[in-house]
Structure 1
Amino acid sequence: MNKLKYLVLVGTFFTSLSSIFIRISNAPSLVISAYRMLFTILMLFIPFVLKYRIELKNIKRQDFILCILSGIFLALHFATWITSINMTTIANSTILVSSSPIFVALANYVILKEKFTSNMFIGIAMSLLGTTIITLGTAGGLSSSMMLGNFLAFMGAIFVAGYLVIGGIVRKNLNAGTYVFIVYTASTIVLFLICLLTDTPLYPYSLKEFVIFIALAFSCSILGHTVYNYLMKYISATLISVSTLTEPIFSSALALIIFKEIPSMSTFIGGTIIISGVLYYITSQNKPQL
């Protein structure tokens, strides 16, 4: 388990690339989300049919419903968070969306009766403090667009928390391949429906855009989210969600190099507090309390 928990950071690195791809794309956020998930399930289709189709036939109704609900949460996460990236800074967006451990820990405490340790409390409290500093720092700028972007990123954190909590429950009964295929398929359908309901054009888009969609699917969904879902069976969803708070380190560094986007002082201070809380929480998990 000690080795597996560090594999979360591999998934985090690849998910951190998503903000860069999204910023480069000129397509609407809903379209980016929908095609990202469509190409993801296309990449997974053959492995799923060859290895997991029998499990799908025998899936329990309750598990199937939970998978669909997880897919809805994932779709709403992408719809809100991806929209936020073009309305606020990449640092703000990735840090705020990574505040999900607050909601994951609370949900696991209420639903799964997961032990709420002092180490968990300290780590989450530091994350909440850092998130508050970033939000207040942005509020001083009186930018309505940026404030809305921050709010959408925060809503993205709530939705991804639901996705992670359900994953922690269902993965105890299903293989990762079956789980992610159902969840990603449900998410794809929901996102395309939202595009249709909001009259968001699904075509035409340039070859460059489709390359970005495919890159998002492979690096961020397959090598990112799917790694998380694999680990759900072995590691607490709370630990996984807390570990993803390291994503802003990668995203902000890449944004600085590629877009010359320098984080504000409030983002730097708040982010430092959040990351410190993450590191404290992860290192404290060497004790067998998961």
Structure 2
Amino acid sequence: MASVVALVVAIVAISSSAPLIAFAAAPSLAIAFWRNAAAVGVLAPVALVRRPDEVRHLFGRRAGLVSVTSGLFLAVHFGAWVPSTKLTSVAMSVALVSTTPIWTALVSAVRGVRVPASTWAGIGLAVAGVALATGADPDLSPRALLGDGLALLGGLAAAGYTLLGSRARATIATTTYTSVCYSVCAVVLLAASLVTGADLVGFDGQTWVAIAAMTIGPQLLGHTLINYALRRIGSTTVAVLLLLEVPGALVIAWLLLGQLPEARTLPGIAVLLAGVAIVVLGARRQPGQPGQPTNGGTAISPEAIGTT
């Protein structure tokens, strides 16, 4: 029962991410920087206290390089997806960024991993859903289309983050990995903010509250409770249930922003999510191969299902 409650709270937490980003009156890069920097402020002291030796010797190991590279992919994910929530609808942004399992399956196919027919069917269904949803969206302005493209890029970057994170977490603790990964992500986003001239301070109180809520909710609470639930509930089940983030985000966007998606786009979004669910189900571990890639090319991990 506790795992079910934890998963419900996690879904609500991650569902709040896109609406809170759209609500916050701050540059997208600044929002992405602060939520990662704040998370580092919480996680890094824990890693230093609990695993000082692992942190000290991390950068002499392959896991250190993998964690840094994963942080670069995470920076691209946030740098693309966060702006998308302000350019297109919350519904389209969250649905399109949820295509991460599709990208991991395609990367696996390129690497020569056998991808089952069910996964290819799910990919085809998801592509059809994207076409249906975007074609039915009355807002075909360059701004909205850019937002859709950035959301897809965010999902693709999250796939790189997922694949690398699965490797790193096989040999180092989660707190160590996330401390390094989030730190690299925050530094890259800080540099991008400075280069582009994005303001990092001077926001109103509501915006700072929204940024704090993003850090506590999706960034920390959501990921923590997903990890807790994964100890007792199958990873595939968790991954499929977390697709409820999309309708959850729609409800929160309606309550917080008064934003409702066009009814004609909902069937396409539903088809897209059904395709992603089929891909996730097709990516279950092959029996007798512990620790090896799944049929879809990567084991379902917390990183794979909680990037927003």
Q: Do they superpose with TM above 0.5?
A: yes
Larger deviation: 122-131 or 33-42? Answer: 122-131
Tell me, yes or no, if the aligned pair for 2:119 and 2:278 is still in contact at 8 Å.
no
Shift, 1:85, TM fit: 0.8
Matched AA of 1:53: P
- Counterpart of 2:208 in structure 1 is 210
* Count of matched residue pairs: 286
Distance 1:95 1:52, change over 3 A: same
- For the 8 Å contact 1:108–1:238, the answer to whether it is kept is no
Superimposed CA distance per residue, residues 64-97 of structure 1 (whole angstroms, 9 cap, x where no aligned partner): 1111111111111111111111111100111111
Residue equivalent to 2:275? 277
Partner of 2:302: none
Q: Classify 1:259/1:199 alpha carbon distance in 2 versus 1 (closer, same or farther; 3 Å).
A: closer
Residues 1:127 and 1:93: Cα distance change in structure 2 (over 3 Å)? same
Query: Cα distance 1:7–1:117, how it changes in 2: closer, same or farther (>3 A)?
Result: farther
Residues 93 and 8 of structure 1: is their aligned pair in 2 closer, same or farther, counting only changes over 3 Å? same
CA deviation digits over 1:154-185, x for unaligned, max 9?
A: 11111111111111222111111111111001
Shift of 1:54: 1.6
2:121 paired with 1:122: yes
Kindly provide the amino acid, as one letter, of the partner of residue 223 in structure 1: L
Give matches, 1:1-290, under 5 Å.
Answer: 11-59=10-58, 60-111=60-111, 114-138=113-137, 141-225=139-223, 244-280=242-278, 289=287, 290=294
**Alpha-carbon separation, structure 2, partners of 1:120 and 1:192:** 38
Give the residue type in structure 2 aligned to 1:136.
G
TM-score of the aligned structures, taking structure 2 as reference length? 0.80
Counterpart Cα distance in 2 of 1:7 and 1:114: 34
Could you tell me how far 1:286 is from its partner in structure 2? Answer: 8.0
TM-score (norm 1): 0.85
CA contact (8 A) 1:88 1:147 kept: yes
2:87 alignment partner, SS class: coil
CA–CA separation in structure 2 for the residues paired with 1:129 and 1:218: 35
Q: 2: distance between equivalents of 1:100 and 1:259?
A: 26
CA distance in 2, matches of 1:240, 1:168: 16
The residue identity in structure 1 corresponding to 2:254 is L
Gaps of 5+ in 1: none
Q: 1:102 and 1:6 mapped to 2: Cα distance? A: 28
Structure-2 separation of matches of 1:173 and 1:235: 22
Letter paired with 1:196:
L
42 and 123 in structure 1: CA distance in 2 versus 1, 3 angstrom threshold: same
Cα distance in 1 between the residues matched to 2:146 and 2:79: 14
Q: Bigger CA drift: 230-239 or 259-268? A: 230-239
Contact 2:75 2:185 in 1 (8 A): yes
In structure 2, distance between residues paired with 1:230 and 1:104? 24
Three-state SS of the structure 1 residue aligned to 2:175 is helix
Identity score, percent: 27
Q: Mark the runs of 5 or more structure 2 residues left unpaired by the alignment.
A: 288-293, 295-308
Cα offset, 1:273, TM superposition: 1.2
Q: 1:283 to 1:144 in 2, by over 3 A?
A: closer
Distance 1:259 1:157 in 2: 24
